[in-house]
Amino acid sequence: MSSDQQETTPVVVTLSDCSKEDADTVFRVLAQSFASDRADDDAPQYTSHPHTTVWTSTFEVGPTHAPAVPVQLAAPCVVGVQGTYWGVDRLGETLAAAFVVQVEGMAAGDQEKDVQLRLESGVR
């Protein structure tokens, strides 16, 4: 099956080292292009413990998606993306259309890869 014929595939996205507002911005950009396990009104929340907060969502990445536009972030965000090679690459294309993306690390297996990205504002 070619990538043009690919069905949807789940991709897990985790956000850390950013504000809840920036996490919400990233999730909303992705939700414009892909179905998500988050409700439309589900905004990231802080918890009261002193540890780092990590937000997560699963997106159903498919062959067609709405194009993203550059978006402003208050500060850089660290994003983990895990799924099939095709799904991670496709989701990464959407992130790259909205933000400045730097790859900070990657682990690859037979069927999946896990990429750590740093997102900065796509609007200057």
Query: pLDDT tens across 34-58, in order?
Result: 998 766 665 555 555 555 678 899 9
Cβ-based burial of 111 (10 A; exposed 0-12, middle 13-18, buried ≥19): exposed
- Given a cut of 70, whether residue 98 has pLDDT beyond it is yes
pLDDT of residue 86: 95
- Given a cut of 50, whether residue 1 has pLDDT beyond it is no
The domain of 68 spans 3-121
Are 75 and 4 in contact by the 8 Å Cβ rule? The answer is no
Confidence of residue 87 (pLDDT cuts 50, 70, 90): very high
- Given a cut of 60, whether residue 3 has pLDDT beyond it is no
Q: How many domains does the chain have?
A: 1
Are 59 and 10 in contact by the 8 Å Cβ rule? The answer is yes
pLDDT of residue 2: 47
